[in-house]
Amino acid sequence: MPFELTKKLDQEIWMKISGQFSVEDYLETQALVLLGLELYHESRALIFLDNFTGWSKDPRWDDILFMQEHADRVSKMAIVGDEKWKEDIFMFIGKSFRSTEIEFFPEDQLELATDWLATID
């Protein structure tokens, strides 16, 4: 499975994404996030990229609107992975267009990422 829910605690959702990420994977992860949003109105997300190889080539990516519809309800997002993906990930999630606090952490800084995510301003 290219993604796995690794932790769900109150307002935090942690996911691990491995290999190539497809539209189907994306839709499943968004269903998990929506469930958290229904329960808590806001959530925080940690995404761990484990041997991530990018996104599938699929014309359906053009139809994805979740980020625009629910962008401000995810209050913080920590992304942990190989730094070669940092800019591509930021572009994919629309970092410049969201009010969500989003930070990228190298793979060896998982603990720092979880601490940052848990900090409520």
| CB atoms near residue 52 (< 10 Å) | 21
**Among candidate residues 23, 18, 13, 43, the one with its CA nearest the CA of residue 92:** 23
State the first-to-last Cα distance of the chain, in angstroms, to the nearest integer: 35
Query: Span 35-54, mean pLDDT?
Result: 83
- Domain CATH for 26: 3.30.750.24
Domain tally, the chain: 1
Task: Say if residue 7's pLDDT is above 60.
Answer: no
The 10s digit of each residue's pLDDT in 65-120 is 555 566 667 889 999 999 999 999 998 888 888 888 999 999 999 999 999 998 87
pLDDT for the residue numbered 97: 81
State whether residue 63 is helix, strand or coil.
Answer: helix
Q: Which residue segment(s) compose the domain that 44 sits in?
A: 3-118
Distance CA 71, CA 32 (A): 15
